[in-house]
Amino acid sequence: MSHTAHIPSHRKPRRSASKLALRAGVAGGVLGTIAVAGAAGPANAEPVTETIEMPTLGSLESGAGLASAVAASAEASHQEALDQSLQAQENAALQKAAKEAKKAKAEADRKAAAERAEEARLKAEQERKEAEERASRDRERTRLTTQSTSSSNDSGSSSSSDSGSTAGSSSTETQAPSGSAAAIVAFARAQVGDAYVSGGTGPNSWDCSGLVQAAYRAAGIDLPRISYSQSSMGTSVSLSNLQPGDILYWGSRSGSYHVAIYVGGGNYVGAQNPSTGVVERSLDWDTPSGAVRIL
């Protein structure tokens, strides 16, 4: 083990080459200036005794550090100003978007409320019209039923005196229907104005065979649901010998595609099609192919 291993060194730390060069350059420049001044002076001039204080390397380094610190502070301030400006722009954009969204929502709510109010008004108007139509049909049904009953009573009391002068098909058509026929005719006429719906069986929409079936059911008579089955029942009668309550058909008797009810006076009631609904028409308007009598 060396005897000097634990002896601390008294040497000063070496300075870096760049620092030494800087000091040497500064010292050399100052000394050169002094030498030139001395050589140019008078021979008998007194030696310069003024001491010139040289700038130290530490002061130069301190000045450079201060400038760097100032530059860094300025850059930080500039960046902070930019950040604040961007934040202010973002806040303004968010506030504008929030106002526009609030305005759009208020407009959408207003339109939705107006649409709901209009729907409610239209629904109420439709319900009012339907109620008026139902009331009108009920009044007509009551009137026809009362009239049929009254006519039936009158025809029963005077049938013996009129039997000799009212023979023939024309006299049959002028007489009011009675009994089951009256109930069938009254029911059919009470549905005039209802809608036509394929497969409809009432109470406010019908197809042709659904109306005939319901009219006969009002008189206590059950009929099949399909038109060709209805026209296949009963007995066949000519169009010149029709009586109220007879079933009219279009097509062949066993393959009819449409049926209606003869109501007297040369007219019939039927659920025709979606454009007309349930109507009362003359036989001449659409002459049927034939007729059957079930009563």
- Looking at residue 247, which CATH number applies to its domain? 3.90.1720.10
Asked if the peptide bond before residue 13 counts as cis, ω within 30 degrees of 0, the response is no
pLDDT by residue, tens only, the chain of 295 residues: 445 555 555 555 555 555 554 455 545 554 555 444 455 444 454 554 555 555 555 555 667 778 888 888 888 888 888 888 888 898 889 989 988 888 888 888 888 888 888 888 877 777 776 666 666 655 655 565 555 555 545 544 444 444 333 333 333 444 567 789 999 999 999 999 999 999 999 899 999 999 999 999 999 999 999 999 999 999 999 999 999 999 999 999 989 999 999 999 999 999 999 999 999 999 999 999 999 999 8
Q: How far apart are CA 63 and CA 9, in angstroms?
A: 32
What does the DSSP 8-state code read for residue 24?
A: H
User: Token pair 């968010």 is at which residue?
Assistant: 94
When divided into structural domains, the chain yields a total of: 1
HSE-up (13 A, CA, CB side) for residue 114:
6
What is the number of helices (H) and of strands (E) in the chain? 6, 8
In a domain, 38, yes or no: no
Q: What is the 3-state secondary structure (H, E, C) of 89-147?
A: HHHHHHHHHHHHHHHHHHHHHHHHHHHHHHHHHHHHHHHHHHHHHHHHHHHHHHHHHHH
In a domain, 49, yes or no: no
In a domain, 63, yes or no: no
User: Token pair 């009239």 is at which residue?
Assistant: 147
Residue whose C-alpha is closest to residue 227's, from 207, 202, 204, 201: 207
Parent domain of 256 = 175-293
Residue whose C-alpha is closest to residue 289's, from 256, 267, 265: 256
In a domain, 228, yes or no: yes
User: Token pair 């010149």 is at which residue?
Assistant: 240
Q: Where are the beta strands (DSSP E) in the chain?
A: 195-196, 205-206, 235-237, 247-252, 255-264, 267-273, 277-282, 290-293
**8 A C-beta contact, residue 207 and residue 197:** yes
Residue whose C-alpha is closest to residue 246's, from 151, 156, 181, 152: 181
What does the DSSP 8-state code read for residue 166?
A: -
In a domain, 250, yes or no: yes
In a domain, 75, yes or no: no
Give pTM, 2 decimals. 0.44
Q: Around Cβ 159, how many Cβ atoms within 10 Å?
A: 12
